[in-house]
Structure 1
Amino acid sequence: MNVLTEKQIRASFLNASRREASQAVLPDLDTVPWDRLDHLGWRDRRSPLSAYVVVELDGVPAGVLLRASPAPASGRRRSAMCSWCRDLASVGATLYVARRGGSAGRAGNTIGTLICEDFSCSRNVRRPPTSAESGNGIEAIADQVVAERIAGLRERSVQFVRDVAATC
């Protein structure tokens, strides 16, 4: 992912008002490992149910304001597979819902998906493949498995943002 500035991130939101975009609490951009990211995702420190994700859509940053599902009363979440990285991450996946862009969003239309709770998808797809995934572990096959995972993550995350931007 290309390095983004605060101004680029705030201007990228497709489903947030100017006020929501200006009040977003951004991560420390100087510590972001840009070269190992397929999307930038983070939870808002001030509002634990608010989250944000930014992907590159046709070479331009496109951001989405998300709402996380609240923790169940029991405090225990069910295990779920992330629909972006398709990994059963140790942190688990949670349902994130985004208001659609434009008039559809103003009418209350939303779209949701399961994403790693801490947005660790980029790290998950880069982990070494298991023997079940790559056979006897030939390095070229392992590299191909990781490359396919990265491509899938990018495709699914970008498609979600496209779906948010699409008006009904």
Structure 2
Amino acid sequence: MKPVTEREIRACFVNCTKGEAKRMVLPGDLAARPWEDLDFLGWQDPSAPHRAYLVAESGDGLVGVALRRATSGAKHPRSGMCALCLTTHTGDGVTLMTARKAGRGGQQGNSVGTYMCADLACSLYLRGKKQAGPGARPHESLTLEEKVERTVANLAAFLATVTGRPPGSVDG
């Protein structure tokens, strides 16, 4: 992913108002992010742990999505798999992230969700730059490039459900 600015980030959100985008807390370390290793930018709002944000490149530029993290009712650690990068985590390392749909669907209260790495560090798990624990990344015969393509396709499919556009028009 190419580096993005605060202004670009705030302008690309498709499922929140301009006021909400203006008030969102952006990561303070944008300049220090490992952009060459990122397939998308994801972060959690430090002032509201139930809010998270994701920005991805698409054919039309950037697409930003405001997410809401589900609260876990589980009392015992369990494993879960991220639907984007297929990394397995124990405990609360994977969480259901929901996004209000863009446009009329979102105005009517419709949302979609998928299970994602709670820290949205899928790109770093794929590349081995961050470890999720023993067995979290099962051995695959796919190349890194193929794993990245799969993750980007999974993300594009999720973004397509949020935006209501065909998956081919929203790619990461």
Q: TM-score range by the shorter chain?
A: 0.7 to 0.9
Identical-residue share of aligned pairs (%): 38
Whole-Å separation in 2 of the counterparts to 1:155 and 1:122? 13
Q: Shift of residue 73 of structure 1?
A: 6.3
Tell me how far apart the structure 1 counterparts of residues 139 and 51 of structure 2 sit (CA, whole Å).
37
Deviation at 1:161, TM superposition (A): 1.2
Q: Tell me, what secondary structure is at the counterpart of 2:65? A: strand
Mapped to 1, the partners of 2:74 and 2:57 lie a distance apart of 36
User: Normalized against structure 2, the TM-score is what?
Assistant: 0.83
- TM-score norm. by structure 1 comes to 0.85
Task: Give structure 2 stretches of 5+ with no counterpart.
Answer: 130-136, 166-172
Which residue in 1 is equivalent to 2:113?
112
Q: 5 Å matches for 1:44-55?
A: 44-55=45-56
Number of the residue aligned with 1:87: 87
- Match of 2:14? 14
* Aligned twin of 1:148: 146
- For 2:153 and 2:18, how far apart are their aligned partners in 1? 28
Alignment of 1:1-168 (within 5 A): 1-27=1-27, 28-58=29-59, 60-72=61-73, 74=75, 76=76, 78-89=78-89, 92-127=93-128, 132-134=139-141, 145-166=143-164
Amino acid at match of 2:47: R
Letter in 2 for 1:165: T
Structure 1 unaligned spans of 5+: 135-143
Count of aligned positions = 156
Residue 89 of structure 1: how far off its partner (Å): 3.7
CA-based RMSD: 2.0
Q: Which has the larger share of helix?
A: 1
